[in-house]
Chain A
Amino acid sequence: MIRESAIRIPFRYAAGGAGSRFLAALRDERRILGARCDGCRRVFAPLRSFCSSCGASPLEEIALGPGGRVEAWTARADGTVFALVRLDGADTALLHRLVGLPGEPRRGMRVRARFAAERRASILDIAGFEPEEGASA
């Protein structure tokens, strides 16, 4: 015998100080914020409150992109394309989606953030990264 069930419990995830600042900048300023650790000379994307290498906190906030390069991409059967995008000015890559692709993407391809028209302080305020004008896909 099988008992069918489903867990439907709404959750409220606190984004934290740096996370909230990151989401608010997406929503209100269409800016992608990162963090620089002066000690490690490393720029993290997205914004974070402490350095994962040395523990320094807080870190200097800086704007990244909105352009960048595709470090890796993977396509699902439903057509969704996930990618690691290295934003201009960042040392780490941001995981997101690729959209508006005229063909198969390629590693190293230039892309640019496309912001959603309606923004709700979510990572989905970036609708995805699309090929930069003039970039060959």
Chain B
Amino acid sequence: MSAGALRRPVYVSGIGESRPVPRDPRAIPEMVLEAVQAAYADARCAHTDIDAVVTASVDLLDGLTASNIAVTEVVDAVMKPETRISSEGLAAALHAAAQIASGAYDAVLVVAHAKTSMADYQGLTRWALDPIHVQPLGADFLACAGLQAAMLADGDPGAERRWAKVAAERRRAGNGTFLIPSSVEEILLSPVIAAPLREGMCAPLGDAACAVVLTAGSAAVRLTGVGWDLDSHALGERDLRRWDGLRRAFARACAVAGMDPRGMPIDLVEPSCFYPHEEEMFRAATAIGERAELSPDGGLFAGTAPVVAGLSRFAAAARGVRAGRAKRALAHGAWGPAGQGQAVAILQAGA
């Protein structure tokens, strides 16, 4: 595997978010507009400064084919080169970074949005699985997560309580707007939704948007490492106990950043973990120890939205670097059944 450094520096100039809520009464463009305007204000730029746009959205979630047409105007993509990524927002950020690193553009707006309140999210994920061999069974992403958790919990009687503790700890650190159990005992009493996973262990899903402005021009936070990977779609073809795709994505990001992954010079980690067992797989795949601060604002456990999750972790990591809390931070995104897709970004303090 070889990966060279980015050919041109890429900076994070602006961040804007529409906070995750269980149900945002606004239309998608209004929710997205809030995030975009906040990102422009943060970057002290206007839409005329933006050369290109990369959006992340999923048609199934939006109930709209070519779901980017709903936001073309609010992301200022009219008469601009727009690319739409139908996966994680972090993957969109990495594509935008490639556009800047290649010299194609100097300023790219990245936008991710999802409103899970519009429909039955888990029901929709059934249509993201193999239509011949899996879809008729009625399995969804939650079932896939349950199977992965079951693999990890096997022969580990302490797993359930340990996972409840992870969810409780993260949730206490966050200040979400979701009404969800936040003590270990409450979580252990919450209903089993995909054994061994209980409802209280999972990141609650709602509506959110996130926007990021990436530029070639210098800013306080620099994007130095990018890497992504896609594992087999079929769960039965993978070693489900491990996120091998993340291990490869992380190795690529480290290589691009010119970093020795065993040196572990990362002091803030923002993983996209929707379930507590994923946090354990994240630690195993990246070998990130206890020394690094992990999800200080609760990560996804305080509430999130699919598609937006990874880009919101990118925003959180950038804020940590900008505030001086970290010299180097890692943001992670995951998508597909049981973390089939994996993306990693490494951010560093400026210039």
Name A residues whose Cβ lies closer than 8 Å to a Cβ of B. Answer: 5, 7, 11, 13, 15-16, 19, 22-23, 44-46, 52, 71-77, 80, 82-84, 86, 92-97, 107, 122-124
Contacts and interface: CB of A to CB of B under 8 A. Distances in A.
A77 B194 CA distance: 7
B147 A94 contact: no
B236 A93 contact: yes
Interface in B113-157: 131-134, 136-139, 143, 146-151, 154
A95 B150 contact: no
B237 A77 contact: no
Interface residues of B, number: 30
Contacts of A19: 132-133
A94 B147 CA distance: 12
Nearest to B236: A93
A92 B280 CA distance: 24
Could you say which of A13, A16, A44, A72 has the most chain B C-beta atoms within 10 Å of its C-beta? A72
Nearest to A16: B132
B323 interface: no
What 10 pairs across the A-B complex have the smallest Cβ distances?
Answer: A74-B146, A93-B236, A13-B131, A72-B150, A75-B195, A92-B236, A72-B147, A72-B151, A92-B237, A82-B143
17 contacts: A5-B63, A16-B132, A45-B236, A52-B232, A52-B237, A71-B236, A72-B151, A74-B149, A74-B194, A76-B143, A82-B139, A84-B240, A86-B236, A95-B137, A122-B136, A123-B134, A124-B136
B324 interface: no
Nearest to A46: B133
A107 to B, nearest CB: 5
Interface in B182-218: 191-197
B234 A76 contact: no
